[in-house]
């Protein structure tokens, strides 16, 4: 899994943050949250599905980095996708955070405002970072004290996803599977059929995340999308 990125360094007071962004525009992704919905919706085309899986693996490894996908300016899929007309205020960026960094989402607005041009860098990660889905012991989620869940928060029109290496790798297996299998999948006779995966805050049944952020992230592969 290879991706060209840019590395930014931002200082706020005594703290310095390392932010990684994709070098190319992530036009093939559209992230939004409808008021009152239980899900934040993310639609991706083939290229962005691959990039997202790579960035998920990078988040598992990067204990000292923030992984940022600037998506708010995207217009979303065109054609018969059934997407609503999403107001600009409901469109979101995506930020992936390794839990050991202890990054408070409330600081994200200040950090993002100070991003510069960045330094080019290439990420090259093995697909073996993601375990096969059949090797994941989902029953461990039910153990008392299990902490390897994703956590969702909202800040400055951004969905902030925080997790441990295990949380990012286990959920990343689903994203990697989507990037490999969805392009060859055919909806069949049902016009509303789609290929998707759902990631949740704190595991299934945990409800909404803090401050009204939906507890589910619903990722849909957009077969008919031609990003502009």
pLDDT at 58 over 90: yes
pLDDT above 70 covers what percent of the chain?
80
Residue 227 binned pLDDT confidence (cut-offs 50, 70, 90): very low
For residue range 71-105, what is the model confidence (pLDDT) as tens digits?
A: 998 877 655 455 667 888 889 999 999 999 999 99
Mean pLDDT of the chain: 84
For residue range 129-177, what is the model confidence (pLDDT) as tens digits?
A: 887 776 666 655 555 555 678 999 999 999 999 999 989 998 998 898 8
Indicate the domain borders of the chain: 2-221
Distance CA 103, CA 113 (A): 16
**How much is the average pLDDT of 56-85?**
82
Distance CA 91, CA 181 (A): 27
Taking each helix axis from N to C end, the angle separating 165-181 and 46-61, rounded to the nearest 10 degrees, works out to 160
**How much is the average pLDDT of 58-68?**
95
**How much is the average pLDDT of 192-201?**
82
Closest CA to 74 of 106, 41, 30, 34: 30
pLDDT above 90 covers what percent of the chain?
47
- Tell me the whole-structure pTM to 2 decimals: 0.89
């Amino acid at each position: 899994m290879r991706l060209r990125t840019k590395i930014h360094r931002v200082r706020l007071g005594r703290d310095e943050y390392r932010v990684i962004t994709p070098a190319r525009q992530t036009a093939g992704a559209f992230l939004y949250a409808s008021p009152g919905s239980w899900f934040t919706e993310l639609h991706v085309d083939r290229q962005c599905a691959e990039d997202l899986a790579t960035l998920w693996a990078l988040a598992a490894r990067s204990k000292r980095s923030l992984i940022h996908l600037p998506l708010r300016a995207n217009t979303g899929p065109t054609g018969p996708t059934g997407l609503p007309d999403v107001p600009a205020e409901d469109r979101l960026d995506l930020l992936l955070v390794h839990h050991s960094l202890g990054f408070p989402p409330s600081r994200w607005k200040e950090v993002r405002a100070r991003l510069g041009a960045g330094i080019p860098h290439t990420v090259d990660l093995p697909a073996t970072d993601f375990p096969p889905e059949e090797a994941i012991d989902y029953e461990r989620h039910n153990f008392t004290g299990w902490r390897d869940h994703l956590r969702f928060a909202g800040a400055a029109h951004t969905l902030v996803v925080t997790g441990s290496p295990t949380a990012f790798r286990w959920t990343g297996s689903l994203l990697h599977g989507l990037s490999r299998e969805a392009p060859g999948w055919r909806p069949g006779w049902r016009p509303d059929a789609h290929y998707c995966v759902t990631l949740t805050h704190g595991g299934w049944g945990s409800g909404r995340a803090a401050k009204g952020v939906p507890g589910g992230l619903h990722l849909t592969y957009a077969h008919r999308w031609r990003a502009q």
